[in-house]
Amino acid sequence: MFELKEECGVFGLYSQRAADLARLAYYGLFALQHRGQESCGISVNDHGVFTTHTGNGLVNDVFTADILESLGKGNISVGHVRYGTRGTIGLVNAQPVVVNHIKGRMAVAYNGRIVNACELREKFELAGSIFHSSGDAEAIAHVVTSARIRTSSIESAVGEAMDELKGAYSMILMSPAKLVACRDPYGIRPLCIGKTAEGIWVVSSESCGIDAVGGTFVRDVEPGEIVVFDSDGMRSIRTHCGSTKSALCVFEYIYFARPDSVIDGCAVQAARIKAGELLAETYPVEADVVVGVPDSGLDAAVGYSRKSGIAYGVGFIKNKYIGRTFIAPEQATREGKVRIKLNPVSVTVSGKRVVLIDDSIVRGTTSARIVRLLREAGAKEVHMRVTAPPFINACYYGTDISETDALIARDHKLEDIAGIIGADSLGYLKRNQVGIIAEGCKLKGFCTACFDGYYPTEKPERIFVNKYDKKINEGRS
């Protein structure tokens, strides 16, 4: 199945003295749960002694009160929530990844995708290294520990590793004495810093994670920056800053991030409202009500309503108790999965001309089911508006779309897509409007490769395929 999925989420804490960091990490990961619902993990460092727990499922299920108690107190902690791209699903790929090496111990948690991961794995495997997982985090750990042998500090090793790692990464590393955070030179994935009233430093994929632990937002990690937290406080290494033009993934504003987060100076909610306003200006239509597809379509629907003057209504109720661990029905009953997750509010749409706002159309199958739900609930007309341009290219930076064959917009015109999904009309955000939605963003460049094919990095030479999941008669010897 091809569909947009949330990114992973990383969370880190540094305290000058032992504290209940496991519980704080739990709160932070709970706030970042939308970024990954397959597996999660927390590692707590008590002055050099690491205690780690990972599990498949949601944060609230994996980390019971007993598990949190068993992690104990510490002065540094790293946490992670994850979704698995095809071929990398399973507990073995859960993070943080903890490794022991000649100069000590290290835990790694990252968000993004390394485009040269295949080449890096091959290099280390040919040199005798053994890999236990199929995700990129272990390859990153090999690169950093290899550099650590040659360098005098963990931050120097991270700096060397950044010269070798290509792609998107917002990363947190924990050594026995330090917490190190870094962001790739393009700033493709977000990362920010906060501090609690007790003086605990916080690093989070999104500012909502800082809010969850009662912290105050300090600033974003800049593209290419390495930030070190240790007994001397916080310091910055900017060797890689400014080495290239920034390319923040614009889908963070459109879909991935939580609406109450602020990323690189731009409020996510404001960006979505702006996208809705632009759609109203570009694709006006006579209608009775504007509804959004939960959750990322709701704020955009408000924006469309405000600009158009068409009333806003709650068109769907989302089942809040379904995560990605929900067992999907068989192929023949996938319609039931949509009905379980989303139920139309007939009193809002019955007999009405409806403007439907959503964040994207990938294959078109989900959009077609949602449009059908509205019609079955009595909608007279359904005019779909999408807060992203047509998705026509593969993404190599963390979403689960590395092939283009199933992308409906790649081979179909606008009016054809409208017919396929059953909408009376269809309008996408225009490519030249993408940067406009992020008013106030401190970064001036965005990654829009999925819309226009202009990738900020080199495209991967090979896409990772986990050959160890194949039977011998399927091509593995």
pLDDT tens digit sequence for 359-370: 999 889 999 999
Q: Which two tokens stand for residue 49?
A: 């002694």
Residues 49 and 31 sit within 8 Å (Cβ to Cβ): no
The catalytic residues are 8
d(CA 349, CA 371): 11
Give the three-class secondary structure for 337.
helix
Tokens 């009333």: give the residue.
Answer: 311
The stretch 296-325 carries a mean pLDDT of: 89
The stretch 293-320 carries a mean pLDDT of: 95
pLDDT of 451 over the 90 cut: yes
2 compared with 261, residue with greater pLDDT: 261
74-83, 128-137, 189-198, 427-436: least confidently modelled range: 128-137
d(CA 268, CA 442): 13
pLDDT of 5 over the 60 cut: no
Q: How crowded is the C-beta side of 409, counted as CA atoms within 13 Å?
A: 19
Helices (H), 189-295: 207-212, 251, 268-282
pLDDT tens digit sequence for 210-229: 999 999 999 999 999 999 99
Per-residue model confidence (pLDDT) at position 400: 65
- The dihedrals phi and psi of 303, each to the nearest 5 degrees, come to -65, -45
d(CA 240, CA 15): 27
User: Which domains can be identified in the chain, with CATH numbers?
Assistant: 9-247 (3.60.20.10), 267-319+332-439 (3.40.50.2020)
Per-residue model confidence (pLDDT) at position 330: 44
Nearest CA to 280 out of 312, 304, 311 is that of: 304
pLDDT of 331 over the 50 cut: no
Do you know the residue count of the chain? 477
Q: Which two tokens stand for residue 188?
A: 């493709």
The stretch 75-95 carries a mean pLDDT of: 84
Regarding pTM above 0.85, the answer is: yes
Per-residue model confidence (pLDDT) at position 135: 87
pLDDT tens digit sequence for 19-58: 999 999 999 999 999 999 999 999 999 999 999 999 999 9
Look over the chain and give the mean of its residue pLDDT values, rounded to a whole number.
Answer: 91
What is the SS3 string spanning 382-443? EEEEECCCCCCCCCCCCCCCCCCCCCHHHHCCHHHHHHHHCCCEEEECCHHHCHHHCCCCCC
Per-residue model confidence (pLDDT) at position 170: 98
231-240, 264-273, 332-341, 348-357: least confidently modelled range: 332-341
d(CA 142, CA 282): 49
